[in-house]
Structure 1
Amino acid sequence: MRVGGFGKPNTAGYEPIDGIDDDAGIHPKKPLADDHHQGLCHRLFRPHNIIIFVAAFVLSLVICLTVGFIAGDGTLFGIRTNANNAKAVGWQGEKSADVAGADDCPCRPAVKVPQYFQTTDGKWAGPTATGKPAFLAQTRTFNAAAGATFVPNDPLQTSLPIVGMNLSKDESIFRMMGFLAPYSPSPGFGVDEYPLPPGAEIVQLQMLSRHGSRYPTMGANVQALGDRIAAAASKSKLGAKHELAFLNDWKYQLGAEILVPKGRQELFDSGVLHAYMYSPLYNPNSKIIVRTTTQDRMLKSAENFLAGFFGLEWTQNATIEVIIEGPYYNNSLAGYLNCPNSNKIKSGSAAASIWIENYLQNATDRLAPLIDGYEWSLEDSYAAQTMCAYETVAYGFSRFCELFTYEEWIGFGYSIDLAFYGDNSFGSPAGRAVGIGYQQEVVARLKNHTLGYSGSQINVTLDNNTTTFPLNQSIYFDFSHDTNIISILTAFGLKQFYGLLDPSSYPGSHNFTASHLTPFGARLDIEIIRTPKPLAANRSGYAANGGETKYIHFVLNQRTIPLGWSFPECDASRVDGWCELGAFLRAQEDQPRLARYEQACFGKYPLNLSVLDGAPES
């Protein structure tokens, strides 16, 4: 019987490869040996030869067994002695479709899955501590005696009586939390949305998504606040009263870095939304490559998205490529890890600190007298605002949210805008460089070529191979982080989000608003649209002359980014924000040079100074 080669597994996007030839094998009616061979056997096996043969066989067997056990791999001659061990080293769920009971076959060879398709080994997953589970049915509060109206949670309790908030205007503090905001569509970037004109069709989508809502990262200010409260309570009974009375029984019990239930929902819902928007772009006879990183929340975000897009059987439709997320590993989805200078730049954080001292002093003065045995500080006030965001997505509700006025929540959102702009966008000398690798990958897909040397942080091993960087898909899904997405927008050169932010006063509505750009579950959809003729800039109809035309359309959190506002090559008068694809590609040609990757990431220059164009000053 001829057993086939190494079949691909039916998990992680692989299909079994049938390797059994039913026509091959042993035929019962065929003689086992001809007369010549039978005579030869008779001459070989004389009595004294039999004794020598048996002794040699036994000695050889002992030697082979000894060598096999010394090898220490749990096998004899490469054959597993236990079916369960055989399963353990192969792909989970691996099957040979044509052999009954193949999973129990002790002789099936172990097959090694390439690291970049491993979804279960847990390497480079980062912290995965789970916090206290939500119990909102028991812990939620609303003051019915004072006439408060019950509003059902969905699933978070976000209808809160915040001082200064105008409920008639549908205002919500949860749209003012910057990168900690639960997902909601952007209010818009300056242009209206338009349906496709007759005869037009979307021919490609490249999506870049942020992960969903998560627990705090290790070392976050909320954990430090919890430690300070616990330390004070251990010395003497905490004397908190009025609005802070809940602190007398409160403990910090959040997990670390992994998705919370809301985060899983955000990515599942995004998958469902994209299924309604783009399903026909998927070729049902193919399996697409979907890229994410090894961090637990990144992998789980991709899996939840795919479950929403394809259903729970998504492994039949997609393979997840898991790129190592660790210091100095090349990874365009976490570009800061191979850009050491980017982790030292704090000009944005410094600007945010100035603003925090400005907007939050009144709140600190108001809260400090409400707790005895503890010296409430400005740092505590800011951590309490941050705690509101994290506890809400983790538990569904937080008592910290009502401690601050609506104006103070506006100030909180602006502090994050300042930090992100100065540390990750046009105000950062490494703002472009961190995102330039992904910009190059998008352009390479549009031009239909792989990437060799790029002068950036792309993983050349993966990007120069169509198995791991395919070019034949009409739909691409990638998953990244908030600051990386901000840098990618900067690397594309989207000057619409350029503009110095004043740390001493709130400017009112401004283009660079982090909660509009990278809330939890944020997504950038890059559409390629084909029209039969050029489309008028005012959308009045097709031009009388001209042939088939392709356009590119950037959609961030379900609203159009007008490309003509950033690139002179595009038409700024277009009311739909589109750009002709050829013009856009010409605009992108110079972006890698503008990023100055080597100098930005590894050069010597003042790291504490804000810049104007997302790269070191020449």
Structure 2
Amino acid sequence: MSSVLLLLIAFISKVYTIPIYNSWTISPGSTYDSYKFNVLHHLTAISPYFQYNSEELSPDSSEGCRVDKTVYQICHGSVYVNDNDYELTIEPFLQLLKNAADSVDFSNAEDLAFLTHWTSHITNSEQQVAKLSKFGYLEAFSAGIRLSCRYPDLMPVTKNESFKVWGSDASGTRRSPDAIFAGLFSGHETIGKVVIISEDRDPGANTLTPTKTCSNFRTSSGAKQMETWLKHYISPIHVLAMQALCGYETIIRSSSRFHGIFTPEEWLSFEY
């Protein structure tokens, strides 16, 4: 490995250890004894990517063994906002704020005073909704770096199109495999091939998004149960939007003022 490549990997590794997102660790108090948690780790699919290894397991192979093949299934990097969340909860909330701008004085509300000057990180819905964010690209790029360092013997050194990264053609996914490839080869010329798989129904089971091809899959599954819980947990839906914005805004701005306006129990209820 050249000294330049080694330096690049070391530099990227050090940069990635710098916290991108401000941690927000809170304690539910007497409800859960001494349990503490980072809010950003309890936002379901909205959470920024983080590695979880509570058992402190080593990725190294067992003594006397060596890895000669590996397959990883990795989600796309963080997007600005998912289309469903934006359309059903966040966009109505943003419209509510816009309509209330001339009639509501948020400066008198201690927890919500920041809304007086707050602006959404979504400035162009057509270009941002369901699209990979710059930090999402960094997440995918860093994943490639880690894999190349973990499995150096599996990295091809000559042109070899059998070395592939597959990605679906969803708007939030297409750039992620490119970023992983860039990380695998540290920004140098890539050796291998990025294969984009259609989300059409025709491929059947030969797809990365079987929800599109499986006739038994229903996007509405669980919706009735969710609505029942939401009626018990919170009303109106705009409160849910503010909790969702906590994660999405953090991805873009590295922090969010929405973190601090909810109790630990409310965050755990949101996760549920």
Is the TM value for this pair above 0.5? yes
Find the counterpart in structure 2 of residue 171 from structure 1. Answer: 37
Tell me whether 1:274 sits opposite 2:112 in the alignment: no
Any residues of structure 2 matched to 1:304-323 within 5 Å, and which? 304-315=179-190, 317-323=191-197
Q: Give the 3-state SS of the residue equivalent to 1:226 in structure 2.
A: helix
Identify the match of residue 392 of structure 1 among 243, 250, 269.
250
Please say if 1:325 is aligned against 2:199: yes
CA distance in 1, matches of 2:57, 2:151: 20
The CA distance in 2 between the partners of 1:209 and 1:344, in whole Å, is: 21
The CA deviation at 1:389 is: 0.7
8 A Cα contact 1:223 1:252, kept in partner: no
> Who is 2:238 aligned against?
380
The structural deviation recorded for 1:380 is 1.2
Q: Which residue of 2 aligns with 1:334?
A: 209
Report the Cα offset of residue 381 of structure 1. 1.2
Supply the distance in 2 between the matched residues of 1:191 and 1:245 (Cα, whole angstroms). 42
Q: Could you tell me which amino acid in structure 2 is paired with residue 267 of structure 1?
A: A
The residue aligned with 1:221 is: 89
Taking only the aligned residue pairs, the percentage that are identical comes to 23
Query: Does residue 261 of structure 2 align to residue 403 of structure 1?
Result: yes
Deviation at 1:184, TM superposition (A): 1.7
Distance 1:323 1:383, change over 3 A: same
Q: Is the 8 A contact 2:28 2:265 kept in 1?
A: yes
Alignment of 1:519-530 (within 5 A): none
C-alpha contact 2:198 2:207 (8 A) present in aligned 1: no
> Are 1:329 and 1:337, in contact at CA under 8 Å, matched by a contact in 2?
no
Say if 1:187 and 1:352 are closer, same or farther in 2 by CA, change over 3 A: farther
Structure 2 Cα separation of the partners of residues 397 and 222 of structure 1 = 17
Amino acid of the structure 1 residue aligned with 2:239: S
Distance (whole Å) between structure 1 residues aligned to residue 118 and residue 62 of structure 2: 57
> Superposition pairs for residues 455-534 of structure 1, below 5 Å?
none
2:49 alignment partner, one of 176, 179, 183: 183
1:149-186, Cα deviation, whole Å (9 max, x unpaired): xxxx72222246x57479x9763111111111112223
- 1:353 corresponds in structure 2 to 227
- Is the CA contact 1:163–1:405 (under 8 Å) kept in the aligned structure 2? no
Are the aligned partners of 2:80 and 2:131 in contact in 1 as well (CA < 8 Å)?
Answer: yes
Cα distance between partner residues in 2 of 1:159 and 1:215: 20
Q: Is the partner of 2:223 in helix, strand or coil?
A: helix
For the 8 Å contact 1:213–1:259, the answer to whether it is kept is: yes
Cα pair 1:271 1:305 within 8 Å, conserved = yes
Query: CA 1:313–1:297 in structure 2 vs 1: closer, same or farther (change >3 Å)?
Result: farther
Alignment check: 8 A CA contact 1:211 1:263 kept? yes
* Alignment-derived partner of residue 208 in structure 1: 73
Whether the aligned pair in 2 keeps the contact of 1:275 and 1:310 (CA below 8 Å) is: yes
Matches within 5 A, 1:542-561: none
Which of the residues 129, 135, 138 maps onto 1:262? 135
1:303 positional shift: 1.2
**Long gaps (5+) in structure 2:** 1-17, 123-127
Instruction: Report the residue type matching 1:181 in the other structure.
Output: S
Partners of 2:62 and 2:250 in 1: how far apart? Answer: 42
After the TM superposition, which residues 239-258 of structure 1 pair with which residues of structure 2 at under 5 Å, given as runs? Answer: 239-240=105-106, 241-254=109-122, 255-258=128-131
Q: Distance in 1 between matches of 2:44 and 2:218?
A: 20
Residue 291 (structure 1) aligns with: 166
Query: In 2, distance between residues paired with 1:199 and 1:397?
Result: 45
Asked if the contact 2:43–2:270 (Cα under 8 Å) also holds between the matched residues in 1, the reply is yes
Structure ID, larger Rg: 1
- 1:155 matched to 2:20: yes
Across the aligned residues of Structure 1 and Structure 2, the Cα RMSD in angstroms comes to 2.7
Partner Cα separation in structure 2 for residue 332 and residue 171 of structure 1: 36
Please state how far the C-alpha of 1:272 moved relative to its aligned partner: 1.2
Distance 1:217 1:291, change over 3 A: same
Unaligned runs of at least 5 residues, structure 1: 1-152, 362-376, 415-618
Q: What is the distance in 2 between the residues matched to 1:398 and 1:191?
A: 30
Deviation at 1:192, TM superposition (A): 5.5
Instruction: After TM superposition, give the deviation of residue 203 of structure 1 in Å.
Output: 1.8
Larger % of strand: which?
1
1:201 is paired with a residue of what secondary structure? Answer: coil
Task: Indicate how the Cα distance of structure 1 residues 314 and 222 shifts in structure 2: closer, same or farther if over 3 A, else same.
Answer: farther
In structure 2, relative to structure 1, the CA distance for the partners of 1:404 and 1:256 (3 Å cut) is same
Tell me the distance in 2 between the aligned counterparts of 1:192 and 1:274: 16
Query: 1:187 offset after TM fit, Å?
Result: 3.9
User: Whole-Å Cα distance in 2 between the matches of residues 379 and 338 of structure 1?
Assistant: 32
**Which letter does structure 1 place at the counterpart of 2:261?**
L
d(CA) in 1 for partners of 2:61 and 2:75?
27
Which structure is higher in helix share? 2
The SS at the match of 2:90 is: helix
Deviations 1:574-610 (Å, cap 9, x if unpaired)?
A: xxxxxxxxxxxxxxxxxxxxxxxxxxxxxxxxxxxxx
Structure 1 residue 211: deviation in Å? 0.5
- What residue identity is the alignment partner of 1:405? T
Paired with 1:324 and 1:381, the residues of 2 have a C-alpha distance of: 36
CA–CA separation in structure 1 for the residues paired with 2:56 and 2:120: 44
1:198 to 2:63 alignment:
yes
- Shift of the 231–329 alpha-carbon distance from structure 1 to 2, 3 Å rule, reads farther
Map residues 569-608 of structure 1 onto 2, 5 A cutoff: none
The answer as to whether partners of 1:226 and 1:251 remain within 8 angstroms in 2 is no
Instruction: Write the distance in 2 (CA, Å) between the matches of 1:191 and 1:215.
Output: 31
Q: In 1, are the aligned partners of 2:28 and 2:35 still within 8 Å (CA)?
A: no
Q: Which of the residues 97, 103, 118 maps onto 1:237?
A: 103
The one-letter code sitting in structure 2 at the alignment partner of 1:390 is: Y
CA offsets, 1:198-227, max 9 Å, x none? 321212101111001111133241122112
Higher RCO (CA 8 Å, separation ≥ 6 residues) = 2
